[in-house]
Structure 1
Amino acid sequence: MSVVVLTLPGWQSSGPGHWQTLWEERYGDRRVEQHDWMRPLRGDWLARLDEVLLGLPPGQQAVLAAHSLGCIQVAAWADHSRLTARVRGALLVAPGDVEREDLRVLLPGWAPIVRSRLPFPSVLLGSSDDPYCAQERAQVMAQDWGAAYHDMGTGGHLNAESGLGDWPAARALLEELKKATT
């Protein structure tokens, strides 16, 4: 069975130096494009992921590579979608804590964070100095979602500014998820 990697960027999408963009260029991963990256509507983002999964060829599964708000999207989507069997696993990187007051104001409609266990294997990568989510909060999200937590040390928001390049260590974890069976 073939597996496609779908990248799920966060708020404002992922720019040229972001590991998601580099993976798309290097490995042919496919970005789930959103109608509005600047004013994200949760329902629209969830529906868009369903649309992309419905458009996959019969028998093909996806591994989700989510960053920031994309992680919150995965949790909300998995809680209500009937298409979760099409997902083999999820790499969740630096979830944005949309329950924090400063982010709640910027991203209305995304709180509360869905805390249900994900129905597929998942790994959450967090850092000790992420400006958008305290490490303790990321660890609790990982636990609630049933995701293995990996501490990336001091890496900030694990984005282009973190200087990760195409981030081979995270890609190795994603490759393991591609081999997982649900």
Structure 2
Amino acid sequence: MTVLIVPGLYNSEPAHWQSRWETELDHVERVQQRDWDAPDLDEWIAALRSHVARRPGAILVGHSLGATLIAHLAARHPELAIGGALLVAPADPELRISRIRGIASFGPLPDEPFSFPAIVVASRTDPYMAQDRAHVIANMWEAAFVDAGDAGHINVASGHGGWPEGLRLLDQLLVRRRALQATSDLNATLASRSH
């Protein structure tokens, strides 16, 4: 199963846990955007949609604005075969960061439930989304919520290089995905036998 890394604004630098996972794990691809410095929701969704269409059933791993992008993709394209999503420190486009060119196009945050398993990881000290708001958003998305504690924006600046805790969460998501797939396969087999 493919894991798609979905960075946020300015991409993820080499020391970022997303970049490290890309080089350390098997079957990982980074979603590329034309311009990492000037986000445009429609353009970024088109790029992400193209990656997901080529890798049906992929697990999406988004950080910051990348996590917010995944939520928009899920709302606009529910037909896509997304295997699951790990949404780390989603950025709130309605905060002060919306003054950065293009970020306002990511608002408002979608509130539709996801059709795939998801985990939202939020810090108590993230400057880009209050944790209580992230918890509410996770509930609306019907995603599991993980309190990361005082972890800043869960990036290099907050001391999260390889981020082993995140790898454990990714493993949990993969286990949930396999269990859901096994249940779906079993139900399909039972349905075909009953005819």
Give yes or no for TM over 0.5.
Answer: yes
TM-score, normalised with respect to structure 2: 0.85
8 Å CA contact 1:50–1:83 kept in 2: the answer is: no
Bigger RCO of structures 1 and 2 (CA < 8 A, at least 6 apart): 1
8 Å CA contact 1:67–1:95 kept in 2: the answer is: yes
In the other structure, the counterpart of 2:132 is 136
TM-score, normalised with respect to structure 1: 0.91
Change over 3 Å in CA distance of 1:52–1:105 after alignment to 2: same
How far apart in 2 are the matches of 1:33 and 1:81?
19
Q: Deviations over 1:83-114 (max 9, x none)?
A: 43x211100000111112x1222113111111
* Match of residue 68, structure 2, among 52, 69, 72: 72
8 Å CA contact 2:84–2:173 kept in 1: the answer is: yes
In the other structure, the counterpart of 1:92 is 87
Q: What amino acid is aligned across from residue 93 of structure 1 in structure 2?
A: V
Residue 172 (structure 1) shift? 1.4
Q: Which runs of 4+ in 1 moved over 4 A?
A: none
How far apart in 2 are the matches of 1:34 and 1:19?
19
How far apart in 2 are the matches of 1:63 and 1:8?
10
Q: What root-mean-square deviation, in Å, do the aligned CA atoms of Structure 1 and Structure 2 show? A: 1.3
- Note the 1:85-124 alignment, pairs <5 A: 86-100=81-95, 102-106=96-100, 107-124=103-120
8 Å CA contact 1:17–1:165 kept in 2: the answer is: yes
In the other structure, the counterpart of 1:14 is 12
How much identity, in percent, do the aligned residues show? 38
Q: What amino acid is aligned across from residue 9 of structure 2 in structure 1?
A: W
Q: What amino acid is aligned across from residue 159 of structure 1 in structure 2?
A: N
8 Å CA contact 2:94–2:104 kept in 1: the answer is: no
Instruction: Give the match's secondary structure for 1:108.
Output: helix
Q: Which stretches in structure 1 are left out of the alignment for 5+ residues?
A: none
Residue 50 (structure 1) shift? 1.3
Q: Which stretches in structure 2 are left out of the alignment for 5+ residues?
A: 182-195
Larger of the two Rg values belongs to structure: 2
Q: What amino acid is aligned across from residue 79 of structure 1 in structure 2?
A: A
How far apart in 2 are the matches of 1:176 and 1:25?
20
Residue 82 (structure 1) shift? 4.8
Higher fraction of helix: 2
